[in-house]
Structure 1
Amino acid sequence: MSASGDTESRKGAIPRTAKLEEPTLLSAGEIDVRYLKLLILRGKNAMANYYGMRRRFRGNEYGPPPIIDERDTDATTASEQAGDSELSSSADGLEPEERSGGFGTAGGGGRGYFRPGPKLGALSRKILHPEYPERDQPHKMKKDKKKKSAEESKGADSSIWGTSDMYGNTVDHEAYVEHAMRDFVLYVIFLVIANMITFGVLDHAYNYYANTLSDIITNTPFETPLGMTKTFNEIRNVQQIWDFITKVLLGVLYEYGSDHARTIRMGKKDDVLVLFENILIGVPRIRQHRVRNDSCRTSTFFKDLFSTCYNYYSDEQQDREPFGMKQPTAWVYAEPDADSAHYNGKISSYGGGGYMMNITNDKVYTKNWIQELIDYEWIQQGTRVVFIDFTTYTPNTNLFCVVKLVFELPPTGGVIPTAHFYTMKFLRYVNTWDHFVLGCEIIFLCYIVYFTMEELQQIMSLKEEYWYSSWNILDVCILIIAYFVIISACIRYVTVATGMKEKVDNIRTLTHASFDNFVHVQRTFNTAAALLSFLVWLKLLKFAALNKSVALILSIFGRVKFELIALTLMMFTMILGFALLGN
């Protein structure tokens, strides 16, 4: 080969003798081999090794060459042969196996270094198909990228606390799918256990128990002195309160139904039974709160007509002085006990204590006592609320029903009646199913510890990026509510365990057993558990997003979230405006 020919081939261009009538496109193999020749001629062997260029053209790895236009065959062949001669002369520094094998086919020649069809090299793939940069990669590049991915996810792989969120920015999709499926299975188990804790203790008799007592007490009609028929919810004045107590409440407690079907009767060992199967714990109690007659100021125009003024109820304006007959306990103020709790009514918030009277098991004695309260006007102008409390328990279903009847008397006059029937299970671990729920609670505690370590690992791995994801914020909220559920459950257990014996001892006495504190801690636990259940079900959408259709829907909501918030605020403002100013 002449020196001029060497110069032409060394430049890697089409020979000057070749006359092309129109420009031709190089094949993918030609682009790769010319780039390889250029690297070797410039002494860039390290770069060639890095991109795996030498290894790519060994043997018949890429099969026969692609079809090239016949018009360009002679020119292309001449250029490649010249390039091959230079390539062989520059291969002195190659390893023996690379020098012997060359870059041709296994048959010892030809153009075996060309890629067939759609298979492209590193350079040509990025040039011709930039939208698929990870497709059809050489072995060394795949190996390097896997090594890089392993280094990026080293922290996640080395710990059992690793999650799919740690693989969001890596190319290790297999690890992402593996951890996503593991997270999904663990979360489904946690979802079942969380709902078991929330709803597993509920009995089908809950609603029936409360509705039966509510229907008997609030829907039983009574006749007023004016000849009108009223029910509990239709009470509007003080006289109707007394009519309800004497004609409905005492009738329900003492003589409802026949002798064999009385609502309350003396059972074995003088136990009081309600609705045949329910034990009345303690005795019912009536109490009231009053305000002082100087709790507000009267206008100067009406001072001659109204010498006293009774304001809305508050603890600062509460009256604690004896009144009326000034005899205990209905006419003398009694301090609240440890079991009493505040009650948030429709008008004000009321504390424990007050002027109170217990209803005894003797019907005649109780009626005479109540008539004395009526005669001496126990409910007066300063009275702001009257409570009637009692509690029943059915051993057949291990359920308590705490009844609270409230009559609020606003300063404007009238009466606002309210009835509450709390059916609850204070003694949680009695039968086999209760102990199964206890096991679920223990597993729930283990899950919360595991999820806490998992979230801490994610925070250490992702740092500030952790807080950019709304799903991570939801995880933190779930953990906070879960710990609140655990704390409230412990408080409830300690409260019931330490106070239940005293309540049970009041069954055969004339002492009232207050369950206000029990109801408060149980309702706190129920509210927290219900909120936790809602958030746990909400997070299920994160795993549902693995489905393309669900992911598309969630992405649509994500793009219009600000518009949805604006629409919600607008609708809330309109509804609030109509509610406040519409009437």
Structure 2
Amino acid sequence: MEGDEPTVDKTAPDKSRGGCGKLIRIAFGMSSTTMFYYTKVLMDLFIEAESKDGVSFRSITSVEDFWKFTKGPLLDGLYWDKWYNGQDLPPSTEGYIYYENKLLGVPRLRQLRVSTNSCTVNSEFASFITDCYSMYTIDQESKEAFGPYFGKKTNDTALLVEFPATGGAQPSWSFNTVKLIRYVTDFDKFIMGCEVVFCIFILYYIIEEIIEIFATGLKYFADFWNVLDIVLIGMALICIIFNVHRTVTIVERLGDLLNDPGSYANFVALGFWEMRFNNIVAITVFFAWVKVFKYISFNKTMTQLSTTLSRCAKDLLGFFIMFFIVFLAFTQLGYLLFGTQVNDFSTFMNSFFTLFRIVLGDFDFHQLEQANRILGPIFFMLFVFFVFFVLINMFLAIINDTYSEVKSDMAKQTDVFIMADYIKQGYAKFRDKFGFRREKLEGYEQILAGDLADKKMTVSEWKEELQKTGFDEGDIDETFTKFDVDGDRILDVAEQKHILQELQRLQ
């Protein structure tokens, strides 16, 4: 009688491996490390470059500074008329930045204004204040003509200077380095092939999930992994639709630009959505890797990890509710106490992430103490005590306690099929296929004809003798279980004769 071989769904990883692999190739194929350096070069050109008066875009604080930058570094960066050696550039190189980067269309300077009296002046100050300007919003934007009008268009590289009603100037900037023309090189065409295969995979998964939903009904959505599959398919469909839309739109926009090179190339909306597309692809790849946890039961160590997380999920949920109640309380306290003096607490979000940095050991205690000599140190000590010493250690205790239980339970399991056994079985089949079977059979015969012949043989004796001849533990346990008919973990004389008969038959 043959013993039962441990069973495992060996095809499950292969089912998602192809789709995940194609997704990773697509995600990394459309990005490049040169994008970072390209962005840095443009930032150095437009943000860090200084005028003759020492004004850079970053240092703009007034209207005068704005015009010094505009007439100096901005125009010099957009229009290059000299080589590095001072010679004049030929007309054929007109419209290039850093001699190699073509400026599509023309740059555009846009002004947005707030309507006069867009806010209400308090009656007590009405005699002193005649005009009131609200913060800029689309609703408050002035639509009155104040010069040539070019429409609501901005540049893909946006340099923004805000002149608030309080005076001064606040510069900000945005650089979106994207690859809008996708299929140029041979590698790009290879990525296009991966995208086609990926679409086929998604179509297959959609059909498979629909069949499974009809077969299981609402129970389908009770499984976390099934919900994750739906999320992955939905995000993949969004990526596919946008990819097609982006390709078609780029062809149309470039065609219009080639017909009228002096027009403004409005790629701002397309660049914005291209960045969102890249974000969705990144999140999709992340979820695809999370799905790998579904198949890590092949490995005992990884099984302990996944089982620990699933067992303590409810405890962690309750802990996180309590944690964020305390954490948000300290966030609001820090914002209200130090928001007017400390930059790290100037907004609620800044305060929120500053406290996370304190948990990780990145903080500036001197700023808190300088803002308030009494409340600053008290706030810091209370936060460290309640969050770091109490809550964080409670979190670790939940994980550690659950892990100990899981490890204890798994130690009692003897028939768990792990990845090591899977590899050993594959290696054994390889040896058998290429002529190593006779060597194994002769080893078995030597043991049965040796000193232990015609005697009862325990599992420990069986292992000890076979290990001397070079057999691995997986083969030993497999053979013993197969021929131990009564399951008493002892090979009696009858069972040994059965082994010899089987060996003779195999030869």
TM superposition score category, shorter chain reference? 0.5 to 0.7
Give the counterpart letter for 1:238 in structure 2: V
Q: Which residue of 2 aligns with 1:185?
A: 14
Q: Give the aligned partner of residue 302 of structure 1.
A: 125
Counterpart residue number, 2:296: 544
In 1, distance between residues paired with 2:174 and 2:89?
23
> Measured at CA, do residues 578 and 503 of structure 1 come closer, stay the same or move farther in structure 2, by a change above 3 Å?
farther
Shift of the 240–316 alpha-carbon distance from structure 1 to 2, 3 Å rule, reads same
**Which stretch of structure 1 is more off in the superposition, 420-429 or 404-413?**
404-413
Q: Compare the two structures and name the one with the higher strand fraction.
A: 1
Offset at residue 193 of structure 1 (A): 0.5
Q: Which residue of 476, 480, 491 maps to 2:245?
A: 491
Residue identity in the other structure for 1:459? I
Q: 1:464 to 1:259 in 2, by over 3 A?
A: closer
Residue type of the alignment partner of 1:285: R
Structure 2 equivalent of residue 141 of structure 1: none
Deviation digits for residues 60-81 of structure 1 (CA, Å, limit 9, x no counterpart): x9xxxxxxxxxxxxxxxxxxxx
Post-superposition shift, 1:274? 1.0
1:520 corresponds to which of 258, 272, 278: 272
Structure with the greater alpha carbon radius of gyration: 1
> In structure 1, how many angstroms separate the alpha carbons of the residues matched to 2:78 and 2:221?
59
Q: Deviation string for 1:443-502 (max 9, x for gaps)?
A: 000100111122122223332332221111111111111111111112212211221211
- AA at the equivalent of 1:551: T
Aligned length: 335
Among candidates 472, 488, 504, match of residue 226 of structure 2: 472
Q: Which of the residues 310, 315, 324 maps onto 2:138?
A: 315
SS of equivalent residue, structure 1 residue 281: coil
**Equivalence for 1:456:** 210
Deviations 1:368-421, CA, capped at 9 Å, x for gaps:
xxxxxxxxxxxxxxxxxxx6x3xxxxxxxxxxxx42111123333332211222
Gaps in structure 2 of 5+ consecutive residues: 339-507
Query: What does the per-residue CA deviation read over 1:508-566, in whole Å, with 9 as the maximum and x for residues that have no partner?
Result: x2x32221122133123212211111111110111113322212221111121123233
The equivalent position to 1:501 in structure 2, one of 252, 255, 279, is 255
Corresponding residue number in structure 2 for 1:232: 57
Alignment check: 8 A CA contact 2:81 2:89 kept: no
**In 2, are the aligned partners of 1:488 and 1:525 still within 8 Å (CA)?**
yes
Question: In 2, Cα distance between the equivalents of 1:561 and 1:136?
Answer: 37
CA distance in 2, matches of 1:578, 1:502: 55
* Cα separation, 1, equivalents of 2:333 and 2:52: 38
Q: TM-score, normalised by structure 2?
A: 0.61
Q: Residue 116 of structure 1 aligns with which residue?
A: none
Answering whether residue 108 of structure 2 is matched by residue 282 of structure 1, we say: no
Change in Cα spacing, 1:581 to 1:220, as seen in structure 2 (3 Å) is farther
Task: Give the secondary-structure state (helix, strand or coil) at the position aligned to 1:286.
Answer: coil
Structure with the higher helix share, 1 or 2: 2
1:311 deviates by 0.8
2:40 corresponds in structure 1 to 211
Aligned residue for 1:404, secondary structure, equals: strand
Classify 1:410/1:492 alpha carbon distance in 2 versus 1 (closer, same or farther; 3 Å). Answer: same
What does residue 556 of structure 1 align with? Answer: 308
Deviations 1:556-581 (A, max 9, x none): 11121123233334444455444443
The corresponding residue for 2:70 is: 245
Kept in 2: contact 1:222–1:244 (CA 8 A):
yes
Relative to 1, partners in 2 of residues 1:568 and 1:500: Cα closer, same or farther, differing over 3 Å?
A: farther
Structure 2 SS opposite 1:290: coil
**1:425 paired residue among 179, 192, 195:** 179
256 and 545 in structure 1: CA distance in 2 versus 1, 3 angstrom threshold: farther
The alpha carbon displacement at 1:186 in A equals 3.0
Task: Give 1:498's aligned amino acid.
Answer: E
Matches of 1:549 and 1:432, distance apart in 2 = 42
Which SS does the other structure have where 2:115 is aligned? coil
Q: What is the rounded CA distance, in whole Å, between the counterparts of 2:65 and 2:332 in structure 1? A: 32
Determine which of 520, 535, 544 is the counterpart of 2:287: 535
Deviations 1:145-169 (A, max 9, x none): xxxxxxxxxxxxxxxxxxxxxxxxx
Deviation at 1:267, TM superposition (A): 4.1
Query: Cα–Cα, structure 1 residues 466 and 244, in superposed 2: closer, same or farther, change >3 Å?
Result: same
Q: Partners of 1:578 and 1:430 in 2: how far apart? A: 53
Q: CA, structure 1 residues 287+457, in 2 after alignment: closer, same or farther (shift >3 Å)?
A: same
SS at match of 1:222: coil
Distance 1:136 1:526 in 2: 52
The CA RMSD over aligned residues, in Å, is 2.7
Inter-CA distance 235–462: structure 2 relative to 1 (3 Å threshold): same
The residue aligned with 1:408 is 162
Q: 1:265, 1:274 within 8 Å by CA — same for their partners in 2?
A: no
Superposed, 1:352-391 pairs within 5 Å as 389=155
**1:406 is aligned with what amino acid?**
L
Paired residue secondary structure (1:545): helix
CA contact (8 A) 1:295 1:310 kept: yes
Tell me if the contact between 1:198 and 1:533 (Cα under 8 Å) persists in the aligned partners: yes
Distance 1:266 1:296, change over 3 A: farther
State how far apart, in whole Å, the 1-side matches of 2:189 and 2:37 are. Answer: 24
**Cα pair 1:261 1:276 within 8 Å, conserved:** no
**Contact (CA 8 Å) 2:176, 2:275: kept in 1 or not?**
no
Deviation digits for residues 20-60 of structure 1, max 9, x if unmatched? xxxxxxxxxxxxxxxxxxxxxxxxxxxxxxxxxxxxxxxxx
Residue 194 of structure 2 aligns with which residue?
A: 440
C-alpha contact 2:79 2:95 (8 A) present in aligned 1: no
What SS does the aligned partner of 2:127 have?
coil
Provide the C-alpha distance between the structure 1 equivalents of 2:323 and 2:52, rounded to a whole number of angstroms.
Answer: 46
Query: Do 2:80 and 2:97's aligned partners in 1 also have CA atoms closer than 8 Å?
Result: no
Q: List runs of 5+ in structure 1 lacking aligned partners.
A: 1-60, 62-134, 138-171, 324-330, 341-386, 390-401
> Partner residue of 1:566?
318
Identical pairs, percent: 27
Is the Cα contact below 8 Å between 1:267 and 1:273 reproduced in 2? no
Give 1:211 shift: 0.8
Residue type of the partner of 1:294?
N
Q: 1:414 to 1:579 in 2, by over 3 A?
A: farther
For 1:550 and 1:305, the matched residues in 2 are separated by 72
